[in-house]
Structure 1
Amino acid sequence: MGIGIKKIIFTLLTACGLLTAVMSRAQTTPFSIIQVDSLLKQTPKPVLILLSTDWCQYCQMQKQQVRKNKKFKEKSALFYYVEFDAESKEPIRFQEKDYVYKPTGANIGTHELALALNGPHRLAYPTWILLDKNYQVLFRHGGVLPPAQLEELLDTLEKVNL
C-alpha cells in the first residue's frame, strides 16, 4: 500500500472513531424540558425526567451514574431523557401552560414546574419521573435510584408499549 492510501484509511478510521464517540455520548445528553412538547409532537414516546438542583450532591452522583450506564445508552432511543433543575429561574411553557420560578426566601425558591411534576409528594432531590407520551405520570421516585433499579426501569420501558 502506498503512503497516500494508508493516510486515507487512517483518516477514515479516525473519523469513524470520532463519530462513534460523539454518537455514544449524544445518547446520554439530556434534552431540555423546554423541548419536550415539540419532541412529543414529532415522535411520541415516554419522557424520563431527573428533577435535581445544582447544589445536590446526590443529584450530581445520579447524573454521573446515568452517563456511565451502558444499558441507559443502549435503550435511550426508547424515551426522551430530561434533566430539569428544580431551581431554574427561566420561565417555561410546558403542556401549553406557563410555569415560573417562585422565590421562598433570600436566594432560594422552587420552579412551579418542578412542583407540578413532583405532585403532592414532599419534594426530594433527586426525583425521577416517568411520563408516558400523553404526559401521564407512570412512575415517580424521590431519592437516588440505584443502578439495578434504574436498569429495571429501563427494562420495563422496553417491555411496555407506552
Structure 2
Amino acid sequence: MKNTLLFFFILSTCFLYGQKTNTLINYSFEEAFKLQEKEKKPIIVFFHTNWCKYCFAMKNNTFRDEKIIDLLNKHFYFISFDAESKESVNIKGKIFKNKSGIHQIVEVLASKNNTISYPSTIIISANNTIDEQIDSFLSAEEISKILTSYIAVK
C-alpha cells in the first residue's frame, strides 16, 4: 500500500514539473521605451485602479490567459500601471507625477474629452503614436481579436 501511494505521489510530481506556465512580462514605462529603441515593437498600456472591479477581472482573467500572454510577450511591450500610483514616470527625460489623485501619464495617454475611464487599454505604435484606446473591460477573446488584427496590419 505504501509503495502504491509513493508511486502515485512521484508520478503526480512528474506531471506538475512538466507543465509550463507562461508569465506575462510587465515592463515599466522607462524599460518599454528604452527597449523600443533597440527593437521596434508596439507598447500595450493597461491603466487600472485598485477599486475598479472590471480592472481586477482583466488582471485576473484576461491577462492570465495563455494565448494573451503569448501574444503580448512575443509582439508587444506590456505595461500594467495603477492610475493612482505615487511613483514618478520618466519617459525620455519628461517626468510625469501623480497630481490630485490621478497620475499625469494617465491624463496624457488615456483622457478622452477630459474624462478618464477604467480599465483603459492603449496601443502605442512602434513610432510612439496612440493607435487605439479601449476604455472598457476586454475578455481574452476580445483582446485576442484586437491584438491579432493589429499585428496583421502592422
Q: With structure 2 as the length reference, what TM-score do the two structures score?
A: 0.80
Do structure 1's residue 154 and structure 2's residue 147 form an aligned pair?
Answer: yes
Aligned equivalent of 1:119, options 111, 114, 128: 111
Q: Contact 1:33–1:83 at 8 Å: present in 2 too? A: no
Q: 1:60 matched to which residue of 2?
A: 56
Partner secondary structure for residue 85 of structure 2 = coil
Q: Contact 2:30–2:91 at 8 Å: present in 1 too? A: yes
CA drift at 1:127: 0.4
Aligned equivalent of 2:128, options 122, 129, 135: 135
Aligned equivalent of 1:110, options 102, 106, 111: 102
Q: 2:44 matched to which residue of 1?
A: 48
- 2:142 and 2:63 mapped to 1: Cα distance? 16
Do structure 1's residue 32 and structure 2's residue 28 form an aligned pair?
Answer: yes
1:26-79 per-position Cα deviation (integer Å, ceiling 9, x unaligned): xx1321223122111121100011111122121111111233322212322111
2:135 is matched by which residue type in structure 1? G
Unaligned runs of 5+ in 2: 1-10
Q: Contact 1:78–1:157 at 8 Å: present in 2 too? A: no
- 1:80 and 1:134 mapped to 2: Cα distance? 13
Q: CA RMSD in A?
A: 2.2
Partner secondary structure for residue 61 of structure 2 = helix
CA drift at 1:97: 1.2
CA drift at 1:17: 3.3
- 1:29 and 1:35 mapped to 2: Cα distance? 11
Unaligned runs of 5+ in 1: 1-9, 104-108
> Deviating runs (4+, > 6 A) in structure 1?
none
Aligned equivalent of 2:94, options 94, 97, 100: 97
